[in-house]
């Protein structure tokens, strides 16, 4: 594998070096309680006025090992890309890789943190580019390629055995997007436009799937809808019933078999004076947990009113 530029040349790579430095600073500050990263995470608010979360969630990491791995490979691959193509290109590539990988992870799960999507994206970019451009043929050697592939599948195993939660979709999306970007740069003529169209389409699909209208259809996390439910519950407590109904309607789109979601939605409808939808919500809640006193009482109350 080609050696990256030495660290003393940090200032020659403002995007790569700045990104790594920022990730270290935010992560360490978060670990010591000096920074609240809740406004940086992927969440419901990403598509409700706070789209920067698609990028900012890359800046903090779960632990030092996570940070070290991500920063090391971002520097190794990123410095090579920035040296060859310039800082403007590198910035655009990082934004595309991070936004796409973060959206993909949030779409199917609960959202990840860290630079892993960018790291896998830069790996995919250089690997694909090296297949067609001799200048980059030795950047990703066989051992490095097998290490990244092996780590990818090990992370999946660790996730599904509940050993450690890892953003596997971010890894996969980053690698695919990076590979398509590498082909777009390597190819000429019509094939370049085809690769570029594929890259644009892939990013568009990932972003679309992370949006509120589509995400409930593709999200398979057992925690899907929890955030919307909590927002709805808090709105109910604050007597903000219109907002509560909206949040809880979104929550049941994820977890339509959860008794508590339907019961609270019924309360919201009841407070809004929509007795028909309230009764239907309470009936659904009772059917999911037969004998639940609150739901049964709510149904009886609706019948007697």
The domain that contains 230 carries what CATH number?
A: 1.25.40.10
Per-residue pLDDT band at 101 (split at 50, 70, 90): very high
Q: What percent of the chain has pLDDT over 90?
A: 84
What is the mean predicted confidence (pLDDT) over 96-119? 96
d(CA 259, CA 284): 7
Query: Of the candidates 186, 218, 250, which is a domain's last residue?
Result: 218
Q: Of how many residues is the chain composed?
A: 305
* φ and ψ of 291, to 5 deg: 90, 0
pLDDT at residue 138, as a whole number:
87
pLDDT at residue 304, as a whole number:
45
pLDDT digits (tens, 9 = 90+) for 76-90: 999 999 999 999 999
Q: Which CA distances in Å does 268 have to 39, 220, 228, 229, 247?
A: 27, 26, 14, 12, 10
Average pLDDT across the chain, whole number: 92
pLDDT digits (tens, 9 = 90+) for 253-270: 998 888 899 999 999 999
pLDDT at residue 292, as a whole number:
55
Per-residue pLDDT band at 102 (split at 50, 70, 90): very high
Say yes or no: 243 and 212 in one domain: no
Q: What is the 3 state secondary structure string of 143-169?
A: HHHHHHHHHHHHHHHHHHCCCCCCCHH
Say yes or no: 210 and 232 in one domain: no
DSSP category for residue 211: S
pLDDT at residue 264, as a whole number:
95
Say yes or no: 243 and 139 in one domain: no
Q: Where are the alpha helices (DSSP H) in the chain?
A: 14-31, 53-56, 64-85, 87-108, 116-132, 142-160, 168-186, 190-209, 215-218, 226-237, 241-254, 259-271, 275-288, 293-304
d(CA 9, CA 223): 44
Burial of 135 (0-12, 13-18, 19+ CB in 10 A): exposed
DSSP category for residue 13: -
More confident residue, 243 or 138: 243
What is the mean predicted confidence (pLDDT) over 55-62? 96
Q: Which residue has the tokens 């030795």?
A: 138
pLDDT at residue 305, as a whole number:
43
Say yes or no: 128 and 19 in one domain: yes
In a domain, 1, yes or no: no
The pLDDT of residue 2 is above 80: no
Rg (CA), the chain: 23
Report the CATH number that the domain containing residue 47 is assigned in CATH. Answer: 1.20.1540.10
d(CA 155, CA 167): 8
Say yes or no: 137 and 281 in one domain: no
Contacting residues for 55 by C-beta, under 8 A, at least 6 apart: 95, 98, 99, 102
pLDDT digits (tens, 9 = 90+) for 151-206: 999 999 999 998 988 999 999 999 999 999 999 999 999 999 999 999 999 999 99
Answer for the pair 177, 186: CB distance below 8 angstroms, yes or no.
Answer: no
pLDDT at residue 10, as a whole number:
83
d(CA 23, CA 94): 14
Query: Of the candidates 163, 191, 218, which is a domain's last residue?
Result: 218
What is the mean predicted confidence (pLDDT) over 44-65? 96
d(CA 23, CA 139): 24
pLDDT at residue 303, as a whole number:
46
**Which pair of structure tokens corresponds to residue 77?**
């691959």
Number of structural domains found in the chain:
2
Say yes or no: 65 and 115 in one domain: yes
The pLDDT of residue 221 is above 70: yes
d(CA 252, CA 294): 18
pLDDT at residue 77, as a whole number:
96
Per mean pLDDT, which of 106-110, 290-294, 301-305 is the most reliable?
Answer: 106-110
User: What domain range is 300 assigned to?
Assistant: 226-304
Say yes or no: 192 and 256 in one domain: no
What is the mean predicted confidence (pLDDT) over 269-286? 94
Say yes or no: 193 and 285 in one domain: no
């Amino acid at each position: 594998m080609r050696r990256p530029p030495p660290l003393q040349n940090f200032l020659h790579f403002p995007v790569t070096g700045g990104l790594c430095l920022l990730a270290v600073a935010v992560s360490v500050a978060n670990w010591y309680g000096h920074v609240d990263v809740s406004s940086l995470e992927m969440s419901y608010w990403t598509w409700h006025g706070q789209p920067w979360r698609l990028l900012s969630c890359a800046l903090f990491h779960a632990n030092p090992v996570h940070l070290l791995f991500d920063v090391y490979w971002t520097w190794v691959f990123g410095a090579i890309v920035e040296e060859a193509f310039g800082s403007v290109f590198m910035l655009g590539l990082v934004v595309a890789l991070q936004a796409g990988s973060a959206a993909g992870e949030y779409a199917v799960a609960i959202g990840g943190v860290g630079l892993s999507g960018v790291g896998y994206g830069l790996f995919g970019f250089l690997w694909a580019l090296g297949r067609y451009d001799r200048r980059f043929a030795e950047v990703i050697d066989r051992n490095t390629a097998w290490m990244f592939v092996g780590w990818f599948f090990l992370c999946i195993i660790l996730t599904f055995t509940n050993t450690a939660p890892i953003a596997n979709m971010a890894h996969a999306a980053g690698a695919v997007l990076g590979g398509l970007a590498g082909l777009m740069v390597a190819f000429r003529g019509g094939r370049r436009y085809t690769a570029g169209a594929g890259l644009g389409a892939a990013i568009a699909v990932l972003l679309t799937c992370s949006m509120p209208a589509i995400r409930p259809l593709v999200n398979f996390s057992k925690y899907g809808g929890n955030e919307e439910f909590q927002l709805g519950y808090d709105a109910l407590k604050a007597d903000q019933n219109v907002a509560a109904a909206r949040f809880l309607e979104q929550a049941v789109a994820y977890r339509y078999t959860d008794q508590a979601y339907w019961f609270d939605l019924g309360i919201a409808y009841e407070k809004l004076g929509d007795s028909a939808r309230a009764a239907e919500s309470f009936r659904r809640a009772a059917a999911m947990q037969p004998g639940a006193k609150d739901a049964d009482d709510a149904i009886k109350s609706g019948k007697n009113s």
